[in-house]
Structure 1
Amino acid sequence: MNPILRNILAVILGLVLGSVVNMSLIMLSGSIMPPPEGADATTMEGLIESMHKFQPKHFIFPFLAHALGTLVGACVAAMIAATHKMKFAMAIGVLFLIGGIVNVFLLPSPTWFSIVDLVGAYIPMAFIGGKIGKKLFSKKNS
C-alpha cells in the first residue's frame, strides 16, 4: 500500500477507534457509577445544570474514557502508519487534546478535573500508545 495512504488510514482509524473506546466508556459509566440524584446526564444542558452535584468519583469514567480512547487511538495509528509512527501517535493525542479543550469550554467542570484531564489524559497517553503500537508492530513483523 502507498505509504501516504497508509499514514492517512492510520490517522483515520486511530481517531475512529479511539472515539469508539471513548464513547463506549462514557455510555457505560452511567450504569457503573450512576449520576447524582436529580442530575440529567443524558443531555449537554442537563449536565451543565447539574454539574455542581457531581462528586470526584463521577469524574473517574470521563477521565478513563479520554485517556483510554487516546491510548487506543495512538496505538492503532502507530501500528498502521508506514513511517513516523510516533509522530502519528502524537498527532492523535493532539487531536484528542483539542477535543478535550473544546469540551472544557462547552461543559464547565471543576477546575481540578479540567487540569488533570488536559494534562494527563491526552499527550502522555498518546506517547504510551505510540510506544506500545511501535512495539506490537515490530513484534508482528519480526
Structure 2
Amino acid sequence: MNTTVKNTIAVVLGLVIGSAVNSLFIAIGPSIIPPPEGADVTTVEGLAASMRLFEPQHFIFPFLAHALGTFVGALVAAGIAATHRFKIALSIGLVFLVGGFYMVLSLPSPVWFSMLDLFVAYMPMAYMAGKIMDTRNGSSNSFGPVL
C-alpha cells in the first residue's frame, strides 16, 4: 500500500477511534459520578448554566475522556502509520487540542480545569503515544499485517 495512503488512513482511524474513546468516557461519567443536584447536563446551554454547581470530582471523567481519547487515538494512528509515527501521533494531539480550545471557549469551566486539560490532556498524551510507537519494532508496522 502507498505510504501516503497508509498514513492518511492512520490519521483518520486515530481521530475516529480517539473520538469514540472520548465519547465513551463522557457518556459513562455521569453514571459513575452523578452531576450535582439541579444540574441540567442534557444540553450545552444547560451544562453552561449549571457549571457553577460542579465540584472537582465532576471534572474527572471529562479530563479522562480528553486524555485517554487523545492517547488512544495517537497510539492507533502511530501504530498503523507507515512512516513518521511520532509526527502523526503529535498531529492527532494537535487536532484534539484544537477541540479542547474550542470547548474552553464554548463552555465555562474553572480556570484550574481548563489549564490542566489544555496543558496535560492533549500534547503530553500524544507525545507518550508517539514515543511508545516510534520506538516499538523499529520502522516496521507495529500493528503487524493489519494495514
User: Normalising by the residue count of structure 1, what TM-score does the alignment of the two structures yield?
Assistant: 0.95
1:84-135 superposed Cα distances (whole Å, 9 cap, x missing partner)? 1000000000000000000001111000100000000000000111122334
- Please say if 1:86 is aligned against 2:86: yes
1-structure distance, mates of 2:103, 2:70: 15
Show the counterpart of 1:30: 30
Show the counterpart of 2:71: 71
Q: Is the 8 A contact 1:93 1:122 kept in 2?
A: yes
Q: Is the 8 A contact 2:80 2:143 kept in 1?
A: no
2-structure distance, mates of 1:136, 1:65: 25
Show the counterpart of 1:99: 99
The share of aligned pairs that are identical, in percent, is 58
Q: Aligned residue pairs: how many?
A: 141
Q: Once the 2 structures are TM-superposed, how far is the Cα of residue 64 of structure 1 from its aligned partner?
A: 0.4
SS of match in other structure, 1:26? helix
Show the counterpart of 1:108: 108
Higher helix share: 1
Q: Is the 8 A contact 1:79 1:137 kept in 2?
A: no
2-structure distance, mates of 1:140, 1:115: 34
SS of match in other structure, 1:35? coil
RMSD: 1.3
2-structure distance, mates of 1:69, 1:90: 13
